Copies of this chain bind each other. A is one copy, B any other.
Amino acid sequence: MSCAVSEGGVSNPPWPDGLENPSSDGEKCGLAHPGSCERETASHNRQNFDNPHFAFEIHVTDWSPFDLPLTDPRHPFHLEHMAMALDEARAAEAEDEVPIGCVIVSLKKGVIGKAHNQRETLKDPTAHAEMIAITQAAQAMESWRLEQCILYVTLEPCPMCAGAIVLARLPMVVYGCTDPKAGACDTLFRITNDPRLNHRAQVIGGVLAEECGGILSAFFAAKRRG
């Protein structure tokens, strides 16, 4: 039995397949909540009836990955939308485009942009998935400011797209795999976090990284085979 977010009687929560459960081993609980938390201590099961703050019991089934903060890459909100971006990447692949997909979600309106790379189809060097999705999202919001929105993309944005993210005032970017050749959030540049620019975005990398990278590797391997 291990600690979860809430106080009271708790046990191991269900965990998404393929993701490491931070509380499945080790001595400390890996989840963020007030105070330190040793596993298997009596306090976890004790019902503090005398303390008004603990005058209730939260059952095992109440734990959910949704209790994770949105800054956690394992949050189901991120997994759900990255899977959607992966579907877009597959749509790109079906058009013989480099398989990269992007989804933009407004916390108020839901999905407001969904696009894939269309450089060859549109014969346009600016037609990256992120750029098309940002333009779509701005139309949906009727504003060039995409505040309260999150951008999901299967590959780390390039300098152009990272620059567009800053210009759109997007507060959060979630990407799948890193791009060693042109990555501009973490790898080659840190444009989205540069203190000299007039906006910074929070960046979360590595969400469904294996799937996001796998579809790219398979695409280029097939190209090399001709």
Contacts and interface: CB of A to CB of B under 8 A. Distances in A.
Contact of A159 (B125, B126, B144, B162): B162
Interface in A139-165: 139, 142-146, 158-164
A120 B126 CA distance: 20
A181 interface: yes
Q: Chain A's interface: helix, strand, loop or mixed, by majority? A: loop
A168 interface: yes
Nearest to A157: B163
Interface string A181-215: 11010001101001011100000000000000000
Interface of A: 119-120, 123-128, 131, 134-135, 138-139, 142-146, 158-164, 166-169, 181-182, 184, 188-189, 191, 194, 196-198
Given A124-B139, A182-B198, 16 more contacts: A119-B144, A124-B134, A125-B134, A125-B169, A126-B126, A126-B134, A126-B138, A126-B168, A127-B144, A159-B160, A159-B162, A159-B189, A160-B161, A160-B166, A181-B198, A188-B197
Contacts of A194: 188
Contacts of A143: 123
